[in-house]
Chain A
């Protein structure tokens, strides 16, 4: 296996971790947001905005991982 294969594996592992962690994180935000809305339906607008904002932060980290995976892809060209 050459450097190219190793770089692809590295990109794959990186994406795996990022997707796993981001999924767990956004899942927790969604669960808490739904719980909050169920408890206080009148606060739905505030909760929705906050939930989207927080998921954007988590998603930003996941996207960073995606970009690093893309960088692996680009620099590993044979």
Chain B
């Protein structure tokens, strides 16, 4: 039995704790379309929301709603509310159905009684439209939390090095040693080979991106945690930074290769130029999608696997569902451990691809061509 190798008692305690936590968590899956078939709505659970699930009964904390609204009189205004409930109570906003039509007053009352207002879209009551929704969703909340944790860790670490611990003498303590290994890995194994001699300028960005993504990924794996990086806007923002840094550090050769590729016949140039121009944008898009897809797929897999227990309980019977625990829970623990690995690998891949893209843009090509394919005018026009 592999269990006895791991010290029997503790493993069963762990499995018991996991099951207990999940039994508490899953009954809260009342995302609008609860059909009573035990389906826990895996996608809904992994998605964003304007509330923070306490996973105790149906209790949840509503998060602030901030709207930039264009009113009926065509004037922009900014409204801030402590919660979705507050926004509706204020009389300025009301809930809408999936088609965007405002709900009837009687429906609003029953929704408020069941505390389900967070599942509905919010629209202004006076007939205007929300231009930008600045609401602090739970994933944005965890963006702030991981940024705060990262700031605290980074400043404490930096002050240690300023005092000389780690700079003039050996680093002290587990934390400093652990982080120094990671930082040196980013600098020496990722940035330097990929970027080249000017790598030092980019190391601060790369380490920040690495640790922010790593923290965002790992915070999603602790109880009550939310994965900030499973929000496409968060990953798109990170990829946008890489995109901007790549474009602004692009050398003359980088732009020449995009807008007038050398050493190819003139006919091929007109095929290559659109491909190269699209290539500028596909790189950050792939970067954003990769991180987002990796982080959300693990969550969907975990909820789907555990949801099988509840689906079988509802469709066949509690005995079959109960026996399914023996299948679902070990598989879930396996995926959970895989996600810890993926958290590190994805942070590493994002950092490495960022530095590879920056390195590709910085590269000065040494062509041994004897003819000038690119007139200077084109190069300057490309800038």
Give the B-binding residues of A (Cβ under 8 A): 45, 49, 52-53, 56, 59-60, 63-64, 66-67, 70, 73-74, 77
A60–B285 Cα distance when bound, in Å, is: 10
Main secondary structure of the interface of A (DSSP, over half): helix
A66–B298 Cα distance when bound, in Å, is: 12
Closest chain-A Cβ to B77's Cβ sits at a distance in Å of 31
Given contacts A53-B352, A53-B353, A56-B349, contact A64 B43 (CB under 8 A): no
A interface footprint on B131-156 (CB within 8 Å = 1, 0 otherwise): 00000000000000000000000000
Given contacts A49-B189, A49-B193, A73-B43, contact A67 B353 (CB under 8 A): no
Q: Are A66 and B286 in contact (CB under 8 A)?
A: no
A74–B292 Cα distance when bound, in Å, is: 16
Contacts A60-B290, A66-B297 known; 8 new A-B pairs at CB < 8 A: A49-B352, A52-B345, A59-B290, A63-B292, A63-B293, A63-B294, A70-B296, A73-B43
Which residue of B has the minimal Cβ distance to A74? Answer: B43
Q: Are B286 and A64 in contact (CB under 8 A)?
A: yes
A56–B194 Cα distance when bound, in Å, is: 15
A interface footprint on B322-349 (CB within 8 Å = 1, 0 otherwise): 0000000000000000000000010011
What are 26 of the A-B contact pairs (CB < 8 Å)?
A: A45-B189, A49-B193, A52-B349, A52-B352, A53-B349, A53-B352, A53-B353, A56-B290, A56-B349, A56-B353, A59-B290, A59-B294, A60-B286, A60-B289, A63-B290, A63-B292, A63-B293, A64-B286, A64-B289, A64-B293, A67-B289, A67-B293, A70-B43, A70-B296, A74-B43, A77-B98
For residue B356, CB closer than 8 A to chain A, the reply is yes
Which residue of B has the minimal Cβ distance to A73? Answer: B43
Contact of A67 among B292, B349, B352, B356 (CB under 8 A): B292
Closest chain-B Cβ to A46's Cβ sits at a distance in Å of 9
Q: How many A-B residue pairs have CB under 8 A?
A: 40
Closest chain-A Cβ to B348's Cβ sits at a distance in Å of 8
A64–B98 Cα distance when bound, in Å, is: 27
Closest chain-A Cβ to B154's Cβ sits at a distance in Å of 26
A63–B300 Cα distance when bound, in Å, is: 14
A52–B342 Cα distance when bound, in Å, is: 12
A interface footprint on B306-329 (CB within 8 Å = 1, 0 otherwise): 000000000000000000000000
A70–B193 Cα distance when bound, in Å, is: 36
A74–B98 Cα distance when bound, in Å, is: 12
